[in-house]
Amino acid sequence: MRYQRVCIESFVTLLPEEVVTSEQIETQLAPVYERLGLPAGRLELMSGIRERRFHAAGCRPGTVSAQTVQKALQVSQLDPRHVGALIHGSVCRDQLEPATATGVHHAASLPDDCLVLDISNACLGLLNGMMMIADLIELGRIQAGIIVGTEVGRPLVEGTIAKLLRDPQVSRKSIKLDFASLTIGSGSAAVVLCEESISRTGNRFLGGACLADTRHHRLCAGGVEEQGSDGRPLMSTDSEALLHAGVNLAERTWAVARQTLGWSNADVDRIFTHQVGKAHRQLLLSRLELPPERDYPTVDFLGNTGAVALPTAAALGLQRGIVQPGDRVALLGIGSGLNCIMLGLEWHKTLFE
């Protein structure tokens, strides 16, 4: 997968204001912790997540995504008439039908001849959207496109807490399958891509690689089929098995991506990874033989924000100025299923609000 004519104009993010600490979650779970003899601080110790953020109760993803798209257009200064595709790529959506992207498209006043759709691929939806829009630009079908998503983590976290409190059979073994659900946070992100002739940045989207290992599609599963009695979503995750299977797939994917891009590890100046937890980050970077100081972790203060985690980390890192003109940037994404996407950028200019 190589691109010759595609540029990345901007990564943007909108973060909720409400902060919820791991300590607060454990306070709610105190009866379970006491019954099972679990030490306080276990959640942060195991995950490295100090806090995460939540949108207000009842928040609809599309409402926030519309605001994020408007911010993305403002930052990129892209004429909305050039936008030929709008994709909503987060796990969370407003409803099954119609596509959440339709409401976002209407709120952002984008053109009628714009392709409007949702895609879903666990934590990789926004990276998949980047690839789809890049394909359309490379083919000459469109001049520009936006991939956006908003993850609303409150229902899953609060639903998991309620489930654990009302389950008299919960054990030290069974609670492990709920651990990942307590690490989830909320956030929103968007990426603007365009054809090089209208780019203001010259930030080149070079290409990359994607691989799947669907033998492991049951290691992390949830949603409608796993709803609790109160109607909130639940998720079951074999975190340890998912960690090792995901990193194994990442190692294979990174080898293909490097070959496709013509890179060695020494060529990579900056890294943005999917934000899961400290154990995942340490093992991933160790196996890929990439220096941790080139990465920009956000998981400690945002938690795992699903499909928006990686682009949010990129947006925040770019705001901080950690990417310099001429830097080669690797985007390393892994999602349950299992799927893996690793992309390469050549960065030249960051646009600010």
Please write the tens of the pLDDT for every residue from 271-301: 999 999 999 999 999 999 999 999 999 999 9
In a domain, 155, yes or no: no
User: How far is 95 from 146, CA to CA, in rounded Å?
Assistant: 20
Q: Determine contact, residues 336/242, Cβ cutoff 8 Å.
A: yes
Residue 225 scores a pLDDT above 70: no
**Phi, psi torsion values for 228, nearest 5 degrees:** -80, 175
User: How far is 247 from 114, CA to CA, in rounded Å?
Assistant: 37
User: How far is 25 from 157, CA to CA, in rounded Å?
Assistant: 9
In a domain, 119, yes or no: no
Q: Is residue 251 flagged as an active site residue?
A: no
Region 244-266: mean pLDDT is: 97
Report percent pLDDT > 70 for the chain. Answer: 98
Region 94-120: mean pLDDT is: 96
Nearest one of 158, 149, 191 to 64, comparing CA atoms: 149
In a domain, 244, yes or no: yes
pLDDT value of position 108 = 95
Q: DSSP state, 216?
A: G
Q: Which band of pLDDT confidence, cut at 50, 70 and 90, is reported for residue 238?
A: confident
Q: Is residue 220 flagged as an active site residue?
A: no
User: How far is 95 from 302, CA to CA, in rounded Å?
Assistant: 25
Please write the tens of the pLDDT for every residue from 181-207: 999 999 999 999 999 999 999 999 999
User: How far is 24 from 30, CA to CA, in rounded Å?
Assistant: 10
Around 56, how many Cα atoms within 13 Å sit in the side-chain half-sphere? 4
Catalytic residue chosen out of the listed positions 17, 97, 289, 293: 97
Number of domains comprising the chain: 1
Nearest one of 55, 204, 190, 62 to 125, comparing CA atoms: 190
CATH of the domain at 304: 3.40.47.10
Region 135-148: mean pLDDT is: 98
Nearest one of 12, 136, 116, 151 to 70, comparing CA atoms: 12
Residue 353 scores a pLDDT above 80: no
Catalytic residue chosen out of the listed positions 7, 114, 123, 194: 123
pLDDT value of position 229 = 57
Helix, strand, coil shares of the chain as percentages rounded to 5? 40, 25, 35
In a domain, 290, yes or no: yes
First vs last C-alpha separation in the chain: 32
CA angle, 191 then 280 then 223, to 5°: 65
Structural domain of residue 278, as residue ranges? 204-346
Residue 176 scores a pLDDT above 80: yes
Give start and end residues of each alpha helix (H) in the chain: 22-28, 30-36, 42-47, 61-76, 100-107, 125-138, 154-166, 239-261, 278-288, 299-302, 309-319
- The interaxial angle of helices 239-261 and 278-288, nearest 10 deg, is 40
pLDDT value of position 44 = 96
In a domain, 342, yes or no: yes
Give 236 or 299, the one with higher predicted confidence: 299
Q: Which band of pLDDT confidence, cut at 50, 70 and 90, is reported for residue 226?
A: very low
pTM for the full predicted model: 0.95
pLDDT value of position 127 = 98
Task: Give the number of other CB atoms < 10 A from CB of residue 240.
Answer: 12
Which range, of 58-62, 75-79, 202-206, 231-235, averages the lowest pLDDT?
231-235
